[in-house]
Amino acid sequence: MKLSAELQEALNAQIGMEFHASYSYLSMAAYFEANSWDGFASWMSLQSDEERVHAMKFYTYLLDRGATVSLPAIEAPRRDFSSPLEVFEASLEQEQAVTASINRLYKIAHECDDYATVSFLKWFVDEQVEEEKAVSDMIEKLGRVGDNPDAMLLLDSLAGERDSEGEED
């Protein structure tokens, strides 16, 4: 079954969105590096890598379906933040926008009776629940920590342990 033109266009646009997310997390990692929040920087850097993996899943899927890969331009990410909390809030907004986009793709795939794409997208539907949860948890913890410098240092250090937890793929 040939991928519909609408779906092909939407899946290519999603590649751009995932790369933009990757780029954006890299910019957040740079902010944390520059402000000596090493744990948060490492968290963001891993997140950036993950988003690239997401983009490549769409890339490979399009090729597997014999469709055309047409990479869109990637907008420059935000660079200025005033606090770790602000970074994670921006990150949650971004994840919510990605979730909305994945849901839209899912709807189009259904409307096109393209069940292979519906099945492919299911992983992303589940992944977005995890992504929003991970960022929301951090926002909640940052809120709890407030201005306490010792607690902030501890949270930063815990964030840096993320890779050893193996909670994300």
Binding site for Fe ion (CB under 5 A): 18, 51, 54, 131
Cα 108 to its chain centre, rounded Å, is: 21
CB of 153 vs Fe ion, minimal distance in Å: 26
Among residues 18 and 114, whose Cβ is nearest to Fe ion? 18
58-83 core/surface letters (b: 16 or more CB in 10 A; e: else): bbebbeebebeeeeeebeebeeebee
**Closest to Fe ion by CB, 52 or 141:** 52
Question: How far apart, in whole angstroms, are the C-alpha atoms of residue 48 and residue 7?
Answer: 25
How far apart CA 157 and CA 162 sit, in angstroms, is: 9
Task: Give residue for tokens 């929003």.
Answer: 132
Which of 106/154 has CB closer to Fe ion?
106
Least Å from the CB of residue 5 to Fe ion: 24
| Shortest distance in whole angstroms from residue 162 CB to Fe ion | 14
Residue nearest Fe ion, Cβ-based: 54
Q: CB of residue 168 vs Fe ion: minimum separation in angstroms?
A: 10
